[in-house]
Chains A and B, each alone.
Chain A
Amino acid sequence: MPGDEDGRIAPASGTVQSGTSTLTTPGVFVTDQSRIRNFSIIAHIDHGKSTLADRLLERTGAITEREMREQVLDTMDIERERGITIKANNVRLEYTARDGASYVLNLIDTPGHVDFSYEVSRSLAACEGALLLADAAQGVQAQTLANAYLAVEAGLEVIPALNKVDLPAADPERVAEELVGILGGDPDEVLRLSAKTGLGVDDLFEKIIREVPAPVGSVEAPLRALVFDSYFDAYRGVVCYIRVVDGRISAGERLRFMASGEEYNANEVGFLTPRAVSVATLGPGEVGYLITGAKEIDRIKVGDTITSVAYQATAPLPGYSEPKSMVFSGLYPTDGDDFERLREALDKLRLNDASLHYEPESSRALGFGFRTGFLGLLHMEIVRERLEREYDLDLVATAPSVAYRVVKPSGEAIEIHSPQDLPNPGEVATVEEPYMRVMIISPSEYIGAIMDLVTNARGDMVNMTYLSPERVELVYHVPLAEVVFGFFDSLKSRTRGYASMDYEISGYRASDLVKVDILLNSVPVDAFSAVVHRDKAYEYGKKLVDKLRELIPRQLFDVPIQAAIGSRIIARETVRARRKDVLAKCYGGDISRKRKLLEKQKEGKKRMKMVGSVEVPPEAFVAALKVDD
C-alpha cells in the first residue's frame, strides 16, 4: 500500500487507486482551479480542531470508519498523546457540493501552540482561507486570536465557526458576538458546529466553497511552487509539502530551488488523501508532496520557491523569516559516553525541525552536552521527550534561560545563551534582556489577579480592550525570562483556567540582573546558575535551595546546599546523611523478590548524575522552573 501506518509516505511507488478521483486524471489534466479550495483551521488547543478534521475526512470518505482513529492528521505519538499538532500536515478531500459540482478541498493543518506560530505562518501561506474555530463555551482564546490576525494579515478569507455547540455549557450567542467583534460580520452567519456529532459539517463545506476564494494561478506561467513544510523519511529522503502557485509540476521534471540554487529531479509528486497518491502532474492551486531524492533536509529550505529548470520563473514567491530561538537549555547525556549518540539524535531531529539550534558546550558539573535553542518551553519539552523516547537517551536538561545581551564597558556587546557565560560584574556595563509583548484574553473579573501577576513578573501594561462587557484583552510588556518561568501556569491558576495568552518578542531592555550560583557540598555547580533580577535574587535563591533540598536524595554524608551572589551566601539548607537503607529481612522466600527490587532501584540510581561526590537526579536541574510550586 502506498500509505504507511502513520499516514506518511511509504516507500512504494504509489499509483492512483480506482475511484479515488473524479476530478483528476493522472498525467493528462490538472484540477480546474475554480474547483479548488485551500484552507486551514485555526483553533485553540482542545477546541476540537483535530476532531473536526477527522469528521471532514470521514464525511468526504477520505477515510472509512474502520480506518478512523482519533486525530488522523496528528502523526507523531507525542502529538496524539498531548492532543496537539506540531508539524503542519495536509490532506486532500473531495466533496460533492449541493449544486452537484465536485470540489477538491485541501485542508492544511496548523499547530495551535504559540511556540509554533512560525509554522502557522508557513501553513497559512499555502491557503486562501482559514476557518477560525472557537469553543462555544470557552470563547476566543489569545493564541487563536493571534493566529487569526496572522491569517488576516496574510490576506486570507477567515470564516468564523463555533464548535461544541451541543455541550450544555455552550453559549453560542455570546461567543458569536465575540467572533464578529474581532472579524466583523453578522453573528447569525457564524457557523454552529459540533465536530463530535458532525452537526453543521455540510454547511461548513458549502461555506468554504462559497467564501474561500479559488486559487488564481496561471497555468501557462513558469512553475512556482512554495515549499511550506518538509520532513525526512528514512526510506524516501526529504519529502516536501508544496503548494503550486503558477504552472505545473510533473514527475520526472528537473527542478530548481530558487533560494538555495539546488537542482533536483522530481522523482515523485502526489497528494495525501491522507494516503499518499502519486500523480503525474500537480497544477496551479494544488497542494501535495514532492520527493526529489534529496537526503539532507538542510539543502531544502522551507519557504523556498520551486521552479522548472526548463522553463524558469524570474521572481520567487515571498518566503518566511527564519524562526528565532527564544529559550535555551543545556542538554547533557546522563551517561557521558552517550554524547555522540546525542549529537546524532539532534542531527536527526533537525532533519524535521529546522527551528532546532544547538552547539556543543561543556559544564564542569555535567560534562559535554549541547546548548540548545528552542522556540519556547513546549518546544523544549517536546524535543527533550522525543530525544528520550525515540532515541532512548537519558538526558539532563538544565533550567531554561533566555538570550541576554551584555554590553561591556568598552561598548562591545555580546549575546549570551547560558548564565554561566555572564562575565564578572567588573566586565559588564549593562545587561539587557528580551521583553515580550504578551497578549492575554480573560474574563474581566480576573483583571486584578492578572495585574498582580504581571507586576510580580516585572511587566508593564501597554493596552486594555474590552472584547465584550465580560471579556477583556490585556497587552503587557514582560521580560521573557519571567514568561518562561511558570508565567502561563500562574496565569491559568489565577484565572481558574479562563485566561489565554499569546506572546511575541518586542525587543531588548536593560535590567538590573545578577547571577545566582548554587554550591553543592561547597562546590559551585555551573549548571544551576541563573540570571535573576537583583530584587528577586534573595527570594529565588532561598526557594531554589529549598526545592533542591527536597529533590536531592539523602546521600552517605551531609550535603550543604548554598545559594550565592558572587562570594556572598544568600541561602543555605542541608540534606542530611541517609542512615538506614537496608531491608529488615531477607530469607529464603524473599530472595528473588528482593533482588528484583534492588535491580529496580538501581535503575533509579543510574539516572542520577554525579556532581562531584553528590548524586543529583535529573529533575533537580530544572528545579528552578518550579520554585513557585
Chain B
Amino acid sequence: MTETGRPDAPNLADAAAHIRSAYVHIPFCARWCPYCDFAVVEGRDDSTDRYVRAVVSEIESEPAWGELGAIFFGGGTPSRLAPPLLGSIVEAVAERFGVADTAEVTLEANPEDWTEDLASGLVAQGFTRVSFGAQSFDPVVLTALGRAHTPDHIVRAVEAARSAGFSSVSLDLIYGTPGESMDSWARTVEKALGLEPDHLSAYALTVEPATPLGMQVRRGGAAPDPDLQADMWERAVAAAESACLVRYEVSNFAKPAHACLYNLGVWAQGEYLGFGLGAHGFRDGVRRRNVKRLDTYVERIESGLGAVQGTEVIGGWAAEIERLMLGLRRAAGVTSGAGGEALMASDSGKRLVDAGVVGLSGDRLVVTRPLLTDEVVRAVLALGEYP
C-alpha cells in the first residue's frame, strides 16, 4: 500500500488498520542508556549469530499469513548487526509471509555506528527507512543521557543514509532531560530540522522505574519538569510545522507520504507479528509477548519450544479502550464508537469538552490538547465496563 496524503489524514489513519506488519527486536547495545527500559543486552555481541538464527527459526515456525506492508527492526540497536545478518531476517520474513514491493522496512540506528558502507549494505538488504536515535544536538544533554555520539555523528549519519538511497530518514529526539534548558532544546530542534528529515519523533524523557534514571530519581535526583516539557513540546510542534512536518501523533511528525506505516498500523489496532526477545505480537485478537531474557529466548527456540511467555485475549471493553487509547493519540482522532459516545454523554466528558481537551469532528473524537490525552482515556476507563 502506498501512502500519499497528509500524515494526519483520517482516512490514512483508519486504513492503516489493514496493514499487516512485523516487529523484530534486536537487543544488542554497546551500552545500556540510563533511561531505557526496553529488553536490551550489553556486551553480548558474541551471541548475535546465534540470536539471528533463533529469530529466523521463530519466523519460520509462525503460521502462514498474508503479505506484509511494513517491517520494523527495533532495539536495542539494530545497527549493531552487520547488514547480511539483518538481511537474513528480512529474507526469512519475505519467504514465510511475502513482503509487498512498496513495503516500509525500517531499522533503528545509532548515529555513531553508521557508515556509508553500512548504509548501502542495508539498502541492498531491502531496508527503506532509518530512524536515528539522535536524542539531542547538545553535547551536555547527550552526555547526561549516556549517549556515545556527538552532534557531528548525527549530521554525517543523515548524509550517508541519503546518499545510500534510504527513501525515508527519521530522527528521534528526547526533551526535558534534567539540566536541558529551553534554549538548548530550541537549538536541538532547529539543528534537527536543518537536516531536513522526512520524519521526526520528539519524546518527553520518561522516568521508568526499572532503570538507572528511575533509581536516581527515587533517591532524590533531578526529575524532568512536566511544565517545561509542555513548553518544549509546544516549541517542537511550532518549529516542525514551519518546516512542513505535520504532527500526526502526540510525539510524531512527518512530511506528506512519510508517516511511519508500521506505527500507524499499531495505532489503528492493525495486526502485527513480534519476533525476538521481549517482542509483542497481535494477531487474531490475541496479544502475545516473548520472554525477555536473551539466553532463555535462544534456548527455548533452539529446543523447539516457543518463545511466548504470555498471551492476552483483547476483546470486548478492553479492545474498545485500546481503540481509543491508541486512536486518540493520533491527530486524526478516532471514530467515536461506544466508548467515545459514552464519554461525550458523561459529566466528565462534558468537563473535558469545556476545558478544550477533546471535541467531536463529525463522527470522530479528537483530542485538541494532545498533552492531556491520558486524562481523556482515564475518563473513558472511569465510566466502567460497557457503559
Chain A residues with a Cβ under 8 A of chain B: 556-557, 576, 578-589, 591-592, 594-595, 598-599, 601-602, 605-606, 610, 613
User: Do A582 and B279 have beta carbons less than 8 Å apart?
Assistant: no
User: Do A580 and B229 have beta carbons less than 8 Å apart?
Assistant: yes
Q: In the complex, what distance in Å separates the CA atom of A389 from the CA atom of B21? A: 48
Q: In the complex, what distance in Å separates the CA atom of A327 from the CA atom of B143? A: 58
User: Do A594 and B280 have beta carbons less than 8 Å apart?
Assistant: no
Interface flag for B78 (CB, 8 Å): no
Chain B residues with a Cβ under 8 A of chain A: 23, 38, 74, 203-206, 226-227, 229-230, 233, 250-251, 263, 266-267, 272, 274, 278-282, 287, 289, 312, 314, 318, 321-322, 325-326, 329, 347, 351-352, 354-355, 357, 370-375, 377-379, 381-382
User: Do B371 and A598 have beta carbons less than 8 Å apart?
Assistant: no
Known: A582-B373, A585-B206. A605 touches B280 (CB 8 A): no
- Residue on B with the closest CB to A606? B382
Q: In the complex, what distance in Å separates the CA atom of A576 from the CA atom of B227? A: 10
Q: In the complex, what distance in Å separates the CA atom of A583 from the CA atom of B250? A: 9
Minimum CB–CB distance for B321 against chain A, Å: 6
Minimum CB–CB distance for A188 against chain B, Å: 55
**Which of these, A579, A586, A589, A592, contacts B274 with CB under 8 Å?**
A589
User: Do A592 and B287 have beta carbons less than 8 Å apart?
Assistant: yes
Known: A557-B355, A595-B322, A595-B325. A584 touches B204 (CB 8 A): yes
Q: In the complex, what distance in Å separates the CA atom of A233 from the CA atom of B329? A: 54
Known: A587-B266, A591-B280, A595-B318. A613 touches B351 (CB 8 A): yes
Known: A598-B378, A602-B382. A584 touches B206 (CB 8 A): yes
Q: In the complex, what distance in Å separates the CA atom of A582 from the CA atom of B282? A: 23
User: Do B352 and A579 have beta carbons less than 8 Å apart?
Assistant: no
Q: In the complex, what distance in Å separates the CA atom of A151 from the CA atom of B178? A: 64
User: Do A589 and B279 have beta carbons less than 8 Å apart?
Assistant: yes
Q: Which residues of B contact A594 (CB under 8 A)?
A: 325
- Residue on A with the closest CB to B226? A580
Minimum CB–CB distance for A17 against chain B, Å: 51
**Which of these, A581, A588, A602, contacts B381 with CB under 8 Å?**
A602
Known: A580-B226, A580-B233. A586 touches B326 (CB 8 A): yes
Q: In the complex, what distance in Å separates the CA atom of A589 from the CA atom of B229? A: 24
- Residue on B with the closest CB to A582? B373
Q: In the complex, what distance in Å separates the CA atom of A209 from the CA atom of B169? A: 93
Q: In the complex, what distance in Å separates the CA atom of A555 from the CA atom of B211? A: 29
Q: In the complex, what distance in Å separates the CA atom of A586 from the CA atom of B229? A: 18
Q: In the complex, what distance in Å separates the CA atom of A187 from the CA atom of B165? A: 98
**Which of these, A557, A598, A610, contacts B377 with CB under 8 Å?**
A598
A-B contact pairs, 8 of them (CB 8 A): A580-B204, A582-B372, A582-B374, A583-B206, A588-B272, A589-B274, A598-B381, A613-B354
User: Do A556 and B351 have beta carbons less than 8 Å apart?
Assistant: yes
User: Do B226 and A579 have beta carbons less than 8 Å apart?
Assistant: yes
User: Do A582 and B326 have beta carbons less than 8 Å apart?
Assistant: no
- Residue on B with the closest CB to A604? B378
Q: Which residues of A contact B357 (CB under 8 A)?
A: 556
Known: A556-B372, A595-B321. A582 touches B250 (CB 8 A): yes
**Which of these, A579, A588, A589, A602, contacts B371 with CB under 8 Å?**
A579
Given contacts A580-B227, A602-B382, 12 further A-B contacts (CB under 8 A): A556-B351, A576-B227, A579-B372, A580-B204, A580-B371, A581-B373, A581-B375, A583-B374, A589-B23, A594-B325, A601-B378, A605-B382
User: Do A592 and B312 have beta carbons less than 8 Å apart?
Assistant: yes
Q: Which residues of B contact A595 (CB under 8 A)?
A: 318, 321-322, 325
Known: A556-B357, A556-B375, A591-B280. A586 touches B325 (CB 8 A): yes
Q: In the complex, what distance in Å separates the CA atom of A581 from the CA atom of B282? A: 27
User: Do A588 and B266 have beta carbons less than 8 Å apart?
Assistant: yes
Q: Which residues of A contact B230 (CB under 8 A)?
A: 579-580
Q: In the complex, what distance in Å separates the CA atom of A586 from the CA atom of B267? A: 8
Q: In the complex, what distance in Å separates the CA atom of A587 from the CA atom of B282? A: 12
**Which of these, A578, A584, A599, contacts B203 with CB under 8 Å?**
A584
Known: A598-B325, A605-B382. A588 touches B282 (CB 8 A): yes
Q: Which residues of B contact A586 (CB under 8 A)?
A: 250, 267, 325-326, 329
**Which of these, B280, B318, B351, B355, contacts A588 with CB under 8 Å?**
B280
Minimum CB–CB distance for B291 against chain A, Å: 13
Q: Which residues of A contact B351 (CB under 8 A)?
A: 556, 613
- Residue on A with the closest CB to B225? A580
Q: Which residues of B contact A582 (CB under 8 A)?
A: 250, 329, 370-374
Q: Which residues of A contact B289 (CB under 8 A)?
A: 589, 592
Minimum CB–CB distance for B300 against chain A, Å: 19
- Residue on A with the closest CB to B357? A556
User: Do B226 and A556 have beta carbons less than 8 Å apart?
Assistant: no
Q: In the complex, what distance in Å separates the CA atom of A585 from the CA atom of B74? A: 14
5 nearest A-B residue pairs (beta carbon): A556-B355, A579-B230, A602-B381, A584-B203, A580-B230
Q: In the complex, what distance in Å separates the CA atom of A253 from the CA atom of B353? A: 71
Q: In the complex, what distance in Å separates the CA atom of A578 from the CA atom of B229? A: 12
User: Do B371 and A591 have beta carbons less than 8 Å apart?
Assistant: no
Q: Which residues of B contact A592 (CB under 8 A)?
A: 280, 287, 289, 312, 314
User: Do B352 and A602 have beta carbons less than 8 Å apart?
Assistant: no
Minimum CB–CB distance for A592 against chain B, Å: 6
Minimum CB–CB distance for B83 against chain A, Å: 24
Q: Which residues of B contact A581 (CB under 8 A)?
A: 371-375
User: Do B233 and A591 have beta carbons less than 8 Å apart?
Assistant: no
Q: Which residues of A contact B251 (CB under 8 A)?
A: 584-585
Minimum CB–CB distance for B44 against chain A, Å: 20
- Residue on B with the closest CB to A555? B355
- Residue on A with the closest CB to B203? A584
User: Do B203 and A579 have beta carbons less than 8 Å apart?
Assistant: no
Q: In the complex, what distance in Å separates the CA atom of A579 from the CA atom of B354? A: 15
**Which of these, A557, A579, A588, A605, contacts B378 with CB under 8 Å?**
A605
Minimum CB–CB distance for B312 against chain A, Å: 6
Q: In the complex, what distance in Å separates the CA atom of A613 from the CA atom of B353? A: 13
User: Do A591 and B326 have beta carbons less than 8 Å apart?
Assistant: yes
- Residue on A with the closest CB to B281? A588
- Residue on A with the closest CB to B356? A556
Minimum CB–CB distance for B273 against chain A, Å: 10
User: Do A589 and B278 have beta carbons less than 8 Å apart?
Assistant: yes
Q: In the complex, what distance in Å separates the CA atom of A613 from the CA atom of B281? A: 41
Q: Which residues of B contact A605 (CB under 8 A)?
A: 378-379, 382
User: Do B318 and A598 have beta carbons less than 8 Å apart?
Assistant: no
Minimum CB–CB distance for A117 against chain B, Å: 44
Minimum CB–CB distance for B110 against chain A, Å: 18
Q: In the complex, what distance in Å separates the CA atom of A592 from the CA atom of B318? A: 9
Minimum CB–CB distance for B311 against chain A, Å: 10
Minimum CB–CB distance for A606 against chain B, Å: 6
User: Do A585 and B279 have beta carbons less than 8 Å apart?
Assistant: no
Q: In the complex, what distance in Å separates the CA atom of A588 from the CA atom of B278? A: 11
Known: A556-B351, A557-B355, A606-B382. A598 touches B274 (CB 8 A): no
User: Do B372 and A578 have beta carbons less than 8 Å apart?
Assistant: yes
Q: In the complex, what distance in Å separates the CA atom of A556 from the CA atom of B251? A: 21
Q: Which residues of A contact B370 (CB under 8 A)?
A: 582
Minimum CB–CB distance for B237 against chain A, Å: 13
Q: Which residues of A contact B274 (CB under 8 A)?
A: 588-589
User: Do A591 and B378 have beta carbons less than 8 Å apart?
Assistant: no
Minimum CB–CB distance for B318 against chain A, Å: 7
Q: In the complex, what distance in Å separates the CA atom of A595 from the CA atom of B382? A: 13
Minimum CB–CB distance for B204 against chain A, Å: 4
Q: Which residues of B contact A606 (CB under 8 A)?
A: 382
Q: In the complex, what distance in Å separates the CA atom of A598 from the CA atom of B274? A: 24
Minimum CB–CB distance for B20 against chain A, Å: 13
- Residue on B with the closest CB to A599? B381
Minimum CB–CB distance for A582 against chain B, Å: 4
- Residue on A with the closest CB to B231? A579
Q: In the complex, what distance in Å separates the CA atom of A576 from the CA atom of B225? A: 14
Q: In the complex, what distance in Å separates the CA atom of A586 from the CA atom of B330? A: 11
- Residue on A with the closest CB to B267? A586
User: Do B378 and A587 have beta carbons less than 8 Å apart?
Assistant: no
Q: Which residues of A contact B379 (CB under 8 A)?
A: 605
Minimum CB–CB distance for B205 against chain A, Å: 8
Q: In the complex, what distance in Å separates the CA atom of A613 from the CA atom of B325? A: 24
Known: A582-B372, A592-B287, A602-B382. A587 touches B263 (CB 8 A): yes
